[in-house]
Amino acid sequence: MTAGPILRVRDLRVHFPAPGGQTARAVDGVSFDLSAGETLALVGESGCGKSMTALSLVRLVAEPPAVTLAGSSIRLRGEELVGAPARRLREVRGAEIGFVFQEPMTSLDPVHRVGRQVEEAIRAHETVSRAEATGRTLALLERVGLPDPARAARAYPHQLSGGMRQRALIAIAIACGPSILLADEPTTALDVTVQAQILDLLSSLQREENLAVLLISHDLAVVSSVADRVAVMYGGRIVEIGPTASVLTAPRHPYGEGLLGAVPTMYDDRALKMIPGRVPAATDWPSGCRFHPRCPYAWDRCRRDEPRLADGVRCWLAEEPGRRGETTGFAEVST
Amino acid sequence: MSRVLDLLLPGARLLATLPVRGALTLAVWVALWTLAITRLDRVLDTLRGGAIDEWVALASLTGALLLVARAGRRSATGDPADDDAPGQWAMAWRVFRRHRTAMLGLALVGALALTALLTPYLAPFDPAEQGADIVATRFQSPSLQHPMGTDRFGRDVFSRVLYGGRVSLGIGGMAILIAITIGSLVGALAGYLRGWVDAASMRTVDLLLSFPRLVLLITIVALVEPSVLVITLVLGLTGWMGTSRLVRGEVLSLREREFVLAARALGFGTPRILLRHVLPNVATSIIVAATLGIGNTILVEASLSFLGLGVPPPAPSWGLMVAAGKDVMLDAPWIALFPGLAIVLTVVSFNLVGDGLRDALDPRTDRGVGVP
């Protein structure tokens, strides 16, 4: 592999005007790299900016009203996408960066047959004959594991099950051979057994194509099974980033710790813990560390100064680890 | 043996199993052949060189015969089982054909359309032909020779109703086509782009809707010399506002659906998304609006003609004929009665079809399956 990541995101900031003259800082200084063949997972609660980050990578957030602030940088193989002409962005979408969405029920157009939708994706980016597009469509549908590709191609979306629809959507996403796949909660709406199959499909496609995958999920079990690295997002920012094994077993940021504590487990009788309160609105993030109102370890410094992302974690505890022992951490859920 | 029977008398084999369908097929078949044989002289005239509308009539007659023959054979042999994946149209048809009044409406609309197309062969007289002796031939009450009587110029009312139907259906159909096209495009752009496009077009619609349509039409027609073309255009250009509001409303909710986002994520441009993915999802509402709109357009056209502002005489028009008959309503009621009945029948037929389509196509109404 040649040097460097395929996608290099630096200080991405996407803001919206909100009612009352306020500004919603939905994505507020996100930086990460994504390399071929790796899976980076973005985790966090709803409202912390995960999906917005993915959408703004290919400018799918309507601008205006949204604004990608100057100083943001998204480089695809060295090419700057922030400020690139809309026409170039349309080429990138689908052909170089594929998208898999959460809702297989509604992400396919209900009035067209599935095969036609795959063909349309191919023909939007490549000049191929109808016959060739049809042939490639059948091959793609077979590749994503649909048992009877010809029949699936003839079917309308409502005639397929959720899992089959998600497979069809993946076929559309990879139709033009993108090098990056953005998967926004690809398994959340599916049955658990189907989830495993779809995850398996995604990882085998990733291996064969050497795809870079950005997986957005709040399901830590899913993340732990497929991601190489994990970025925990809170308040429009990445608060912790690192290899899956370390972030999900020994989180250094209290928010990551809180998320893990809130996952019920089947085998040990560890008590469920909860993070108090909820994600504040993107219009008024708290001063200092954005997590401090909900953090059991917070002290004056957290309320006053915002920590920087250093060595993969954005928390003052990294500098003063002794303070962790001073409180008991997150409260257990009383049963 | 059965093949020969199907070929000679399509529908005959169905009489035992599906009596209604069989009898209907057979009746249409016999009627068409009767027409072809009794008007053989006119058909031959057409072949020797006829006007364009006669050629259209001949083509329609041939087409109708072929269709009936095919329908008879298909029903007899059973529909081919090609439907393991019925689309929304196939499913809508299943609902529609169980809807009795809608099927009646469809049959009437079909009959009206066929009548309009076959008028040159059906009409016993030229619509403008006045009797040789006006005094003797005018105001004749209905008889075998003149099934709907004659008017004040001794013209055959039946023939005029038939020719008037061509004018009314033609104007109604073309005008609604124009109105629906403009309305869909304006509505789709307004709903999808929002912002100033939306504001500007919807305020224009508000403005146009604040004029009573008939007054607007009368004003325009007073300025422009009316002709069939002008009336069609004017009706089309004043009839799109309702459709544009309807389409805008649906597009506003469609644009938030994930498949639109997915289409954008595939790099599709706005025109493609609008024409291939947004409008087809509104097609059902547009079709229902168009069907219901035809009836209304025909009514408005008749009103204009009634006021003397429509298609200029001597072209036969239902509204004009009603207007001409109203002065002699007590002495010769048939002159106004038959074109009036024709208007009512046409409007009711289209509305029945429209209601049936709405039931069949609207996912929010019950499809008649499952528990009530």
Per-residue pLDDT, B81: 47
From the CA of A256, how many Å to the nearest CA of chain B?
A: 30
Nearest chain A residue to B85 by CA: give it: A155
Q: Could you read off the pLDDT of A93-137 as tens digits, one per residue?
A: 888 888 888 877 788 888 888 888 998 888 888 888 888 888 889
Q: Which of A107, A151, A155 sits opposite B262 (nearest CB)?
A: A107
Q: Is B363 on the interface with A (CB under 8 A)?
A: no
Confidence of residue B201 (pLDDT cuts 50, 70, 90): very high
Mean pLDDT, residues B4-27 taken together: 77
Per-residue pLDDT, A1: 45
Question: Could B281 and A110 be called an inter-chain contact, meaning their C-beta atoms sit closer than 8 Å?
Answer: yes
Q: Could you read off the pLDDT of B48-77 as tens digits, one per residue?
A: 877 777 788 888 888 888 888 887 777 666
Question: Higher pLDDT residue, A313 or B197?
Answer: B197
Q: Which of A102, A120, A154 sits opposite B85 (nearest CB)?
A: A154
Per-residue pLDDT, B190: 93
Long-range contact set of residues A288-296: C-beta below 8 Å, sequence gap at least 24: A289/A314, A289/A315, A289/A316, A290/A234, A290/A235, A290/A236, A290/A237, A291/A234, A291/A235, A291/A239, A291/A253, A291/A254, A291/A255, A294/A255, A294/A258, A295/A254, A295/A255, A296/A254, A296/A327, A296/A328, A296/A329, A296/A330, A296/A331
Contacts of A109 in chain B (CB under 8 A): 259, 263, 277, 280-281
> In chain A, where do the E strands start and end?
7-18, 22-34, 39-43, 67-68, 73-76, 79-80, 97-100, 180-184, 212-216, 229-234, 237-243
Question: Could A60 and B263 be called an inter-chain contact, meaning their C-beta atoms sit closer than 8 Å?
Answer: no
Q: What is the spatial distance between Cα A230 and Cα A50, in angstroms, rounded to a whole number? A: 12
Q: Could you read off the pLDDT of A48-64 as tens digits, one per residue?
A: 888 888 888 888 877 66
Q: Could you read off the pLDDT of A188-234 as tens digits, one per residue?
A: 877 888 888 888 888 888 888 888 899 998 888 888 888 889 888 88
Q: Is A107 on the interface with B (CB under 8 A)?
A: yes
Nearest chain A residue to B193 by CA: give it: A62
Q: Could you read off the pLDDT of B291-312 as tens digits, one per residue?
A: 888 888 888 888 888 888 878 7
Question: Higher pLDDT residue, B124 or B214?
Answer: B214
User: Does the pLDDT value for residue B148 go beyond 80?
Assistant: no
Question: Could A101 and B277 be called an inter-chain contact, meaning their C-beta atoms sit closer than 8 Å?
Answer: no
Report the mean per-residue pLDDT for chain B: 82
Confidence of residue B365 (pLDDT cuts 50, 70, 90): low
- Which whole-number Å values give the CA distances from B164 to B236, B242, B335, in the listed order? 19, 27, 13
**Residue percentage of chain B with pLDDT more than 70:** 91
Nearest chain A residue to B278 by CA: give it: A109
Mean pLDDT, residues A234-242 taken together: 85
258-287 of B, contacting A, C-beta below 8 A: 258-259, 261-269, 272, 276-277, 280-281, 283
DSSP labels, B47-88: HTT--HHHHHHHHHHHHHHHHHHHHHHHHHH------SS--H
Q: Which of B265, B280, B281 sits opposite A99 (nearest CB)?
A: B265
Q: Which of B85, B87, B267 sits opposite A93 (nearest CB)?
A: B267
What number of C-beta contacts closer than 8 Å exist between A and B? 75
From the CA of B89, how many Å to the nearest CA of chain A?
A: 10
B246 and B285 in contact (C-beta within 8 Å)? Answer: yes
**Which ipTM was obtained for this model?**
0.82
Here the tokens at position B196 are: 């100033």
